[in-house]
Structure 1
């Protein structure tokens, strides 16, 4: 897809990967609407994005609610006059042992990371199909490919989103709407600020701009998926499939330190 002139809606676009994708899309000539829950943060983000001369509008809404999704999509269609690209980027995480995770935290992850993108995509599909060259981009996580301990619910919902995208891609094949799935690794974003897991535990953070550049490249190549993490992640994916017990042993050796490092990791 050539992004010049394309109309894009990016959820969670006020910071982190969503902001970086918005910035990269603007550089390619797209028109953007970003959404998030905090009006002040959105306003600041929009001003920064507009500094490059691109067209950016924003709407404060919670896409995990029916009203928030309706508000978001209505605003985007009014500002853009249609929709070519939907980026489901908004997400939340609460790490730690499952028995220490509250029901409210679990339900929030399910609603924000899985239910919201499914329902927003469903609502947007008629407009994406009408564009005749529509695209859905789902931002999942590397944990959806190789699940780490202390992220049980997060791994479940992100892998669910990945399989939702895979199924939908095949459902929409030949109908003018493509679906691409993105698997970021640990990324230097506000969402990761409460995690103390570093390279010694396998969490080497890369800049959000690097993820965004890879997303843009994937869009331009009509890729099915974008996987971050390089050769190390690729080896883990193979090992997880061919010898999962070996990976279990590796995580067992790290489990105590990892549990301590991520027990306060929360961004909901």
Structure 2
């Protein structure tokens, strides 16, 4: 008779699993969208500390310059991935700077909180474009370069709201849930092709995007530092996790 495993032994935690992969991220070439602040910038710092080579993008030139100074690099560009031109520039310049791609991090996003009937059509369309359409199209364009790596990954930064919808975030919840399912489906589609897909579900995080948020712990909006989210995503990459849920 097979002995039942105890609940304590399964599953391994991300921290335990990553001990087997201490050099996994060294020299990996990593473009990060929305990498000039918040979770994206924290990810850049965490990956550089692991020996990875990062290339960051963001829409605001002043934030880009500040982030590049922090990271002590010039590997980045001001680009809006919600536009075809921004996506093209992101991939072309990242490939030029890094010499190829190993890990694509789809982190750029935007949110407009409020009652649905008070949210304009323009704001709704912007969330659908930035949070869902743009990363899908960027990923599609990046697939040949990622496949050429032979040991590649895609990280899609979704949201805890994709799992538990919060009031006044109806559109944001919808697009982030769609983005999460995109990642889950793509992971199965790419199985055996050398491209792993990890979906991250951050909870309330202390980022510039959340500064206007008035919700409290009753809705799950107690906040943690962006660095804590970044560290958990990096640990997930090291352990080949399918999801990181904060």
TM-score, normalising length: structure 2: 0.89
| Residue of 110, 130, 135 corresponding to 1:112 | 130
In 2, Cα distance between equivalents of 1:56 and 1:197: 37
- Indicate the SS of the match to 2:244: strand
TM-fit CA distance, 1:214: 0.2
In 2, Cα distance between equivalents of 1:227 and 1:106: 26
Q: Does 1:199 align with 2:221?
A: no
* Native 8 Å contact 2:236 2:243 kept in 1: yes
Let me know the Cα RMSD of the aligned residues: 0.9
* Native 8 Å contact 1:31 1:56 kept in 2: no
Q: What aligned pairs does 1:43-82 form with structure 2 within 5 A after superposition? A: 43-50=65-72, 55=73, 57-82=75-100
| Residue of 219, 224, 231 corresponding to 1:213 | 231
Q: Does 1:174 align with 2:192?
A: yes
In 2, Cα distance between equivalents of 1:224 and 1:49: 28
In 2, Cα distance between equivalents of 1:71 and 1:220: 28
| Residue of 25, 40, 53 corresponding to 2:47 | 25
In 2, Cα distance between equivalents of 1:208 and 1:56: 22
TM-fit CA distance, 1:197: 1.5
The aligned counterpart of 2:162 is: 144
* Native 8 Å contact 2:207 2:226 kept in 1: yes
- Indicate the SS of the match to 1:87: strand
TM-score, normalising length: structure 1: 0.82
* Native 8 Å contact 2:203 2:220 kept in 1: no
In 2, Cα distance between equivalents of 1:130 and 1:144: 31
- Indicate the SS of the match to 1:94: coil
In 1, Cα distance between equivalents of 2:153 and 2:243: 13
* Native 8 Å contact 1:34 1:56 kept in 2: no
Which structure shows the bigger proportion of residues in helix conformation? 1
Greater alpha carbon shift after TM alignment, 198-207 vs 113-122? 198-207
- Indicate the SS of the match to 2:175: helix
The aligned counterpart of 1:256 is: none
| Residue of 91, 104, 128 corresponding to 2:146 | 128
Q: Deviations over 1:29-58 (max 9, x none)?
A: 0001000101111011011012xxxx5511
* Native 8 Å contact 2:38 2:207 kept in 1: yes
In 2, Cα distance between equivalents of 1:187 and 1:14: 16
- Indicate the SS of the match to 1:128: helix
TM-fit CA distance, 1:136: 0.4
- Indicate the SS of the match to 2:75: strand
Listed as ranges, the gaps of 5+ residues in structure 2 are 1-20
Listed as ranges, the gaps of 5+ residues in structure 1 are 229-268
